[in-house]
Every structure is written in structure tokens, then in C-alpha cells.
Structure 1
Amino acid sequence: MSKIVDFRQRIIDTVKAMYPQMDVEWYDGLFDEHDIADWTLKTPCARVAVMNAPGQHEVTGEMNACLRVVVVIIDENGHIARDGDAKAWEYVENVAIMANLNTFGDPNAAPATKVKFRRISQPVLRREGVSVGVVEWESDLTIGRNRVREREFFYRQDGSMITDVPRSRVIAQGYVHNAAGLDDHDELDVTPEVP
């Protein structure tokens, strides 16, 4: 599976864990009033898009994909007129707080930065009781082969990295003067203790 698709799924899972009642899926990054009309059938809902920004080379040989992540949150008025606005702001604020400096459990991701959030105001949607909020941030994700790890470490036949190495035992000999000034021959075990 693509690392970028896996990263997007981690974001979706994180939002679902925050709001189990919310319908959370991915989308391609563009939406219009027809998409919002379809999404309002499942409110409250969130749509997650991961779009690529220019990548950069790393010294490890990997590419640093600067990902632009967008989460669109849609809700409708409930029991009281215009209460969807307060709920949408709450969703937007909490998703922004969650995203800030989050790596979403991916070891190849840097903490999220440049978090922006806003409510989209549109008179037609407001008259229909629909509230739309957007949270956007940047997440750096390294993709590709890490040539440094391939060059600097040892691997087994199955491709797994060797992390345990044989330990050695060191014995040192020394001469110690006792209180009478005589030499005692002692052997000391100076093998380092490994936790």
C-alpha cells in the first residue's frame, strides 16, 4: 500500500476515534455545492484529503513529501435554529487541536505544522441550515528507500535488520598493593553490564 494512502487512513481513523458518531471518509481535495448536498445526507460528517506539495530530497536518499492535509467538516442545524454553527466550530477547533504537532503514529511522519482552520460562510448553505468548517495543515512524510539504513546496518537473508550482536567478556589483570605494601594478584571482571 502507498505510504501516503496509509497516512491518510491514519488521519481518518484518528478523527473517527474522536467522533465515533461521525461519518469519516476520504475525498480528492476538491468539492462544490453538489458534494456538500451529498455529504449532508450523512451529517455530521468529515472528509479527509491529502494533497501533495513539492517534495525534497533527504540525505538518506528518501523523498520528503510535504503533504497538505485538508479535513472538511459538515453539520446541520439540530433542534434549535443555527445550532449547527456552534457544533461545526467545536468540531473544527477540536480537529485543529488534535492535528497540531501530531504524527498520527507514523514513524516516517514529522509533526503536523501550519494548522489553519475556518468556517466557510455561504448564504445558501446557511439558509438550508448547513455548516461547513475546514481544517488544513502540513505534514512531512518521508517516502522511498532509506539508503543509509541499507548501507550502515547488517541484514539477515529474509531482509530483517540484525539488532542483537554477540557480547564479549573482558577480563583484566592488575597488581594491587595491600596494606602491608605487598602485591596481590587479582583478576577483575570488567564486562560492562547491559540493561
Structure 2
Amino acid sequence: MSKIVDFRQRIVDTIKVMYPNMDVDWYDGLFDEQDIADWTVKTPSARVAVMSTNGDHEVTGELNARLRCVVVVIDENRFVALDGDARAWDYVESIALKANLYNFGDPNAAPATMVKFRRISQPVLRREGVSIGVVEWESDLTIGTNRVREREFFYRPDGSMITQVPSSTHTRGHVHTAAGLQRDEQTDFDASED
């Protein structure tokens, strides 16, 4: 699976945990009045889009993709006129606070920065009792193969990285002294003593 698609799903899953009763899904980054009409069938709802803006090369050989992440929140009036506005602001504010300096549990993502949030005002939607809020931020995501990890670490035949070293080592050597004498030495090293 694409790392970008996986990252987008992590954002969707995070919002679902925050708001279990909210209809959360992804979208392609563009929406119009028909999309909003479809999304208001099940409110409150949120739609998540991840759009790449540009990328830089890393010393590891990976590409650092700066992703522009967008969450659109839609709610509508329920009990009194304009009460959807307060809820939309609450959703937008909570999602912005969650996104701020958070990597959504992805070890290849940097904490989110440049968080912006706002309400979209549109007279036709307001008259229909629909409230829309948008949260945007930037997340850096490294994609590709980390060449440093390939060169600097040891791997098992199954491809998994060796991360543990022996706790004790027994060595035996043949030593030549400066005077030309020879002798055998034996050394025991226990890493647990450090």
C-alpha cells in the first residue's frame, strides 16, 4: 500500500476515535455543493484529503514529501437555529489541536506543523442550516528506501534487522609482545556489568 494512502487512513482512524458517531471518510481534495449535499445526509461528517505539495531528497536516499492535509467537517442545525455553527467550530478546533505537532502514529512522519483552521461561510448553505469547517496542516512523510539502514545494519536471512547483541562474549587470542614473546590470553566480557 502507498505510504501516503496509509497516512491518510491514519488520519481517518484518529478522527473516528475522537468522534465515534461521526461519519469519517477520505475524499480527493475537491468538493462542490453536490458533494456537500451528499455529505450532509449523514451529519456530523468529516472528509480527509492528503495532497502532496513538494518533496526534498534526504541523505538517507528517501524522499521527504511535504503533504498538505485537509479535513472538511460538515454539520447542520439540529435543535435551534445556527447551533450547527458552534458544533462545527468545536470539531474544527479539536481536530486542529490533535493534529498540532502529532505524527498520527506513523514512524516515517514528522509532527504536523502550520496548522490552519477556519469556517467556510456560504449564504445558500447557511440558509439550509449547513455549517462547514476546514482544518489544514503540513506533515512531512519520508517515502522510499532508507539506504543507510541497508548499509549500516545487519539482517537475518528472512530480511528482519538484528537489533540485539550478545550480552556476554568469550574471546581467545594469541598475543605477540614487543619483546617477541608469545602467550595465549583469554578474556570474558559481560555487557550486563556496564
Q: State the TM-score, normalizing by the size of structure 2.
A: 0.88
Two-structure CA RMSD over aligned residues (Å): 1.8
* CA deviations over 1:123-178 (Å, ceiling 9, x no partner): 000000000000000000000000000000011111111112233258xxxxxxxx
**Count of aligned positions:** 179
Q: Aligned pair in 2 of structure 1 residues 194, 115: CA closer, same or farther (>3 Å)? A: farther
Tell me, yes or no, if structure 1 residue 3 matches structure 2 residue 3: yes
For structure 2, list consecutive stretches of 5 or more residues without a partner in the other structure.
172-187
Give the alignment of 1:79-118 within 5 angstroms. Answer: 79-118=79-118
1:19 corresponds to: 19
| Counterpart-to-counterpart distance in 2, 1:15 and 1:169 | 53
Where do 1:146-157 residues align within 5 Å?
146-157=146-157
Which residue does the alignment assign to 1:178? none
**Equivalent position amino acid for 2:100 in 1:** N
Shift of 1:66: 0.4
Q: 1:156 to 1:101 in 2, by over 3 A?
A: same
> Following TM superposition, by how much is the alpha carbon of 1:190 offset from its aligned partner in structure 2, in angstroms?
6.7
* Unpaired stretches in structure 1, ≥5 consecutive residues: 171-188
Query: 1:61 matched to which residue of 2?
Result: 61
Alignment of 1:33-182 (within 5 A): 33-166=33-166, 167-169=168-170
Compared with structure 1, are the counterparts of its residues 58 and 123 closer, same or farther at alpha carbon in structure 2 (3 Å cutoff)? same
CA distance in structure 2 between the aligned counterparts of 1:118 and 1:134, rounded to whole angstroms: 5
Q: What is the DSSP-based 3-state SS (H/G/I as helix, E as strand, rest coil) of the residue aligned with 1:109?
A: coil
Alpha-carbon distance in structure 2 between the residues aligned to 1:127 and 1:88 = 16
Q: Could you say which residue in structure 1 is the equivalent of 2:181?
A: none
Q: Residue 40 of structure 1 aligns to a residue in which SS? A: helix
Within 2, Cα distance between the matches of 1:164 and 1:97? 38
After superposition, the Cα gap between the structure-2 partners of 1:83 and 1:55, relative to the gap in structure 1 and judged at 3 Å, is same
Cα distance in 1, alignment partners of residues 72 and 190 from structure 2: 59
**One-letter code aligned to 1:31:** F
The change in CA–CA distance for 1:61 and 1:194 in structure 2 (over 3 A counts) is: farther
Q: How far does the alpha carbon of each residue in 1:27-77 deviate from its partner, in whole angstroms, 9 at most, with x for none? A: 000111111111110110000000011111000000001000000000000
Sequence identity, in percent? 76
Counterpart-to-counterpart distance in 2, 1:192 and 1:161: 21
Does the CA-based 8 Å contact 2:169-2:189 persist in structure 1? no
Tell me, what secondary structure is at the counterpart of 2:28? coil
Q: What secondary structure does 1:168 align onto?
A: strand
* SS state at 2:66 partner: strand
Aligned residue in 1 for 2:176: none
Rounded to whole Å, the distance in 2 between the matches of 1:22 and 1:92 is 13
| 2:40–2:74 contact (8 Å) kept in structure 1 | yes
